[in-house]
Chain A
Amino acid sequence: MNFIETVLARRSGKAELLPGETVWIDVDTLLTHDVCGPGTIAIFQKEFGRDARVWDRDRLVLMPDHYIFTEDAHAIRNRDIVRQFAIEQDLPHYYDDASDRYRGVCHVGFAEEGFARPGRVLFGTDSHTCTAGAFGQFATGIGNTDAAFIMGTGRLWIKVPETIRIILHGEWPDHLMAKDVILQIIGDLGVDGATYCTLEFTGGAVAALNMDERMTLCNMAIEAGGKCGVIAPDEVTNEYLRQRGITELEEIYINGDANYKKVLVYDVSLMHATVAKPFSPDLIANACDLDSIALDQCYIGSCTGGKVADFIAAARILNRRQVKTRTVAVPATREVEAALKTETVDGISLCAIFKEAGVEIGQPSCAACLGGPEDTFGRLNGAEVCLSTTNRNFPGRMGSPRSQTYLASPLTVAASAITGRITDPVMFLR
C-alpha cells in the first residue's frame, strides 16, 4: 500500500485496502465555515434532531472565513447561525469572527492551530480542504449532507483513490515557486486528469520546501480533479508542529509495494514562471510569453497564495519599487497579517515594503478569491483583467462574469504589478 492507502487502512480497520474499494472510515476532524456551516447545521438538526449533540466536540473545527468583511445581511446571518450553533454545542474549536479568536482562511488557520497532523483523516466543507495533505494526512472536500452525517456519527463512506505520484527533483531556481510547479502539473494532467485520484508529491525538491510552499502544492490538487494531495511527513513537518507545541505524532510506515496509477517526474531547475489563462487552471503558458496582457488589478491572497512565504516572495520583488497597477494584498489569516510586520526583506518589514510600493492591504479572509458579495475587498466588479495568486479562474470566479483572471505565483504577480503587464519575475531577480 502507498502512503494514503496506509492512512485510510488504519482508519477503516483493514489490514489491506485497494484503490476502488468502498469503505466506511473513522473521521479525525471535520472542518466547516460560514458558507457551508449553516446548511450543514440545518441538515444535522433535521436528521438527528434539534437537540442532537455533535459526535465529538473536540473534533469539529469551525472557522468562519468567506464572507466576513461585508455588510451583506445574509452573510452576517450565516455567521450568526454558526456562532449560535457553536454556543449551543459548546465547541472549543470555534474561531468567532466577532472576537479576537478570529483567524481567517480556514485552510491556513487549520494548519496554524496545529490541527493538520500526519496520519489523520480530515473532511471539510470546502474543496481546498486538500491543503492539509501537506502534513501527511488524508484531507478532502465534501458537501453539507456528508458533513452533517459526520457531525452525527464521526464516519463517512469513501472510495479509496488511485494515486498519481509526482516526483520533483533538482535545485529550485530563484524565480520559481511551488505555484509555478503545480500550475504546470495541472496543465499536464488537465483539470480532470486526476479525478478521484490522490496526488502524492515526493522527491528532493519537495523535501526542500517549507510548509507554506508544500501547502500550495497540495491546495491545488483539486484543480486537477484530485481527491487529495499528500506529502509524507519529514523533519520539516515535525519542526512546524513542534513550534506549535505538538510533539506526539503518529508515525506511518509503508509496508510492501506501493502502487501508483501513474508517475510524473519534473526537474524544477528547468522550469519557468507559469501562468494559467482564463478561464481554466490548466490553460497554462510561460509568463514571458504573455507580456502583451495589460492588467487592471493584481491580487495577492487566499489559501493558495496568501501565506507568509507568499508575501515574503512578493516583497523581494516589490522592495524599493512602485506598483503601476492597482495591487491588493489579503493576508490569509491574522497570523499572516502579524507576520507582515515582523518578517523583513533587506531589513525592511513586509508591511513597509508594501505600503511604500503602493499596495492596498485588506483584512484576513477569503475576500475576492471567490468573488463574494459586491462590497468584498478586491472583488472584480466589471470587465477587469486580474493577475492573481489564487486558485481558480473560472468565468466570474472573482466577481463579474465580464472579468478575466490569470493565475500565477506571488513572484510573478509582484513583477507584473510593477510593469502593469504579465511579467516574468526573472527580470527583477537578476
Chain B
Amino acid sequence: MIIKGLAYVVGDHVDTDQIIPAKHLVYRMDDPEERALYGKYAMSGVPDESAGLPHGNQPLVSSGAKSDYTIIIGGRNFGCGSSREHAPMALAEAGIEAVIAQSYARIFYRNSVDSGNVLPVESEQNLCMEIFTGDELEINMDSKEMKNKRNGNIHSLKSMDTVAEIVSAGGLFGYARENELIGDNGDEKDSTTAGRRHRAGSNAGSCENSDRCWYPGGFAV
C-alpha cells in the first residue's frame, strides 16, 4: 500500500480535545452534510503555536471541510484522552489518510483500526522535528518506509502486527465478515452466529457453528 501527500506536523501528546473539541461532538455522523463539519473542525483545538510545526499558526483545514494535507505527523502518545471515535473520523473527513506517530494512546489507535477511518502507523523515531509541515511524503507499507521528498530522507515505520488483518479488511466489520464471524447482512447474522445467546463464559471456548469459530487463538499475522 502506498500513501502520498503533504505532511501536517504536530507535537507530543496531542489529545482528542485538540483533534476535535467537545463542543463539536453533536453533529450526526450518518448525515453527509453534517459529517463534513467534523472535517471542517478537525485539529481546531490544537494551540496556535503547535498547529503545523515548525512554524505553527497553520490550521489543518484553511477553508471548507477538506485539508490540503494527507498525512499527519505526531510525536508520542498521539490521540490521548477521550474515547471519542469522532477523532479519527474527523481526520478522515478532512482528507487525512494516515497518521504517523512515535506512539499512540490505545483507544485512538483502536478506533482508527476498527473504524478504518485512518491508518495509524508507528514510526521508529520521533519525527516531529524531522519533518516540516508541507513536506511531500510517500508511505510504503510494504517496505515499512516513508520517504521525505524535500531531503530524500527515509524513515522506518513499525509493522502493524496483530491488527494488520483488520486494517487490510478495512476495519472490524470487514474483518468479521471476511472471517465469517458475522454474516453479510444483519438478517443472516441475527439468525446465526450473533443472535441473543447466553454468554458469560457458558459457551466460552467452543465453536457453536463448526464453520464459525470465535476463538481462533488470536489473529494469525
Binding site for B on A (CB under 8 A): 10-14, 21-24, 26-28, 35-36, 38-39, 42, 46-53, 55-56, 67, 72, 74-75, 77-78, 124-127, 129, 141-146, 149, 152-155, 157, 159, 191-192, 195-196, 225, 227, 280, 370-374, 392, 394-397, 401
The answer on a CB contact under 8 Å between B107 and A401 is no
Known A-B contacts A153-B181, A372-B22, A394-B15; the reply to A146 vs B111 at CB < 8 A is: yes
Known: A144-B115, A192-B13, A394-B81. A11 touches B201 (CB 8 A): yes
Total interface residues on B, CB under 8 Å, equals 63
Whether the pair A143, B110 counts as a contact (CB closer than 8 A) is yes
Most buried by A among B86, B182, B214: B214
> Interface on chain A toward B: helix, strand, loop, or mixed SS?
loop
Give Cα A13 to B162, complex, Å.
20
Nearest A residue to B193 via CB reads A153
Name the CB-closest residue of A to B76. A192
Interchain CB contact under 8 A, A39 and B189: no
In this assembly, does B141 line the interface, its C-beta being within 8 Å of a C-beta of chain A? no
- Give B31-67 as 1s and 0s: 1 = Cβ < 8 Å from A's Cβ atoms: 0000000000000011100000000000000000000
Complex contacts, A141 vs chain B, CB 8 Å: 82-83, 107
| Chain B residues with CB below 8 A from A124, complex form | 83
A225 close to B214 (CB less than 8 A): no
CA distance A372 to B186 in the complex (A): 35
List residues of chain B with CB within 8 A of the CB of A143. Answer: 83-85, 88, 107, 110-111, 114-115
Contact across chains for B45 and A396 when beta carbons are under 8 A apart: yes
B77 within 8 A of A: yes
Cβ contacts B172-199/A at 8 Å (1 or 0 each): 1100100001100111011001111101
B59 CB, min distance to chain A CBs, angstroms? 13
**Cβ contacts under 8 Å, B203 to chain A:** 13
A144, B18: Cα distance in complex, Å: 19
Closest beta carbon of chain B to A366's beta carbon, Å: 9
New A-B contacts (10) at CB < 8 Å, excluding given A38-B29, A280-B13: A13-B206, A143-B88, A143-B107, A153-B176, A153-B182, A192-B103, A195-B104, A373-B23, A373-B26, A396-B21
Interchain CB contact (< 8 A) of A152 among B25, B28, B88, B186: B186
Q: Could you tell me the distance between the alpha carbons of A74 and B110 in the complex, rounded to whole angstroms?
A: 27
Interface residues of B (CB under 8 A from A): 13, 15, 17-18, 21-23, 25-30, 45-47, 76-77, 80-86, 88, 103-107, 110-111, 114-115, 162, 171-173, 176, 181-182, 185-187, 189-190, 193-197, 199-201, 203-206, 214-215, 218-219
B214 contacts A24, C-beta separation under 8 Å: yes
Of the candidates A12, A42, A157, A395, which one forms a contact with B45 in the assembled complex, judged by CB atoms under 8 Å apart?
A: A395
Q: What residues of B have a CB within 8 angstroms of the CB of A22 in the complex?
A: 162, 218-219
Complex-state Cα separation, A47 to B171, whole angstroms: 12
Shortest distance between the CB of B111 and any CB in chain A (Å): 4
Determine whether the beta carbon of B26 is less than 8 Å from that of A78.
yes
Whether A142 touches B107, Cβ cut-off 8 Å, given contacts A47-B173, A127-B83, A153-B181, is yes
Q: In the assembled complex, how far is the CB of residue A78 from the closest CB belonging to chain B, in whole angstroms?
A: 6
Q: A74-B27, A192-B103, A395-B18 are in contact. Are A144 and B186 (CB under 8 A)?
A: no
CB distance from A279 to the nearest CB of B (A): 8
Q: Please, how many angstroms separate the alpha-carbon atoms of A382 and B83 in the complex? A: 26
List, in ascending order, chain B residues with CB within 8 A of A38's CB. Answer: 28-29
List residues of chain A with CB within 8 A of the CB of B86.
39
Q: Is the Cβ of B199 less than 8 Å from the Cβ of A191?
A: no
**How far is it, in angstroms, between the C-alpha of A82 and the C-alpha of B104 when the chains are bound?**
31
Report the 6 A-B pairs with minimum CB-CB distance, sorted nearest first: A49-B186, A13-B204, A13-B205, A143-B85, A74-B26, A48-B186
From A13, A51, A129, A280, residue with most partner B Cβ within 10 Å: A13
Closest to A142 in B: B83
Determine if B218 and A152 form an interchain contact, defined as CB atoms under 8 angstroms apart: no
Contact sample, A vs B, 7 pairs, CB 8 Å cutoff? A13-B204, A13-B206, A23-B215, A145-B115, A153-B194, A155-B199, A192-B77
